[in-house]
Amino acid sequence: MPVSLKRLQARQERVASGLERKVTRVTSKGPKAKGVQSKNLNPYLVGFLLFILVGGALLPHVQRYIMGFFASAEI
């Protein structure tokens, strides 16, 4: 086992037994830094965008079907 792993394990044991306090450092490069956190996307916006994408993909097929229907209809 590497030395660093042994040291880490020893430290974890000391933390578990309460001899040492677990220190969590907050640095400017952490996940709490400005501009890094992801904003929750509006589910309605996501649904609308999916609707547009799927509709755009299906449009040619639907269009062909509608055009065929009108072409076959007798005037």
For residue range 11-63, what is the model confidence (pLDDT) as tens digits? 888 878 877 666 666 555 655 555 555 677 889 999 999 999 999 999 988 88
Q: Kindly state whether residue 34 falls inside one of the protein's structural domains.
A: no
Residues with Cβ within 8 Å of 11's Cβ and at least 6 positions away in sequence, in order, are: 20
d(CA 55, CA 47): 12
Q: Kindly state whether residue 9 falls inside one of the protein's structural domains.
A: yes
Domain of residue 57 covers: 3-26+39-72
Phi, psi of 4 (to 5 degrees): -60, -35
Give me 2's structure tokens: 């590497």
Q: Are 37 and 31 in contact (CB under 8 A)?
A: yes
Give this prediction's pTM: 0.35
Q: What is the per-residue pLDDT for 49?
A: 96
Q: Kindly state whether residue 47 falls inside one of the protein's structural domains.
A: yes
d(CA 10, CA 39): 39
Domain count, the chain: 1
Q: What is the per-residue pLDDT for 12?
A: 82
Q: What is the per-residue pLDDT for 25?
A: 61
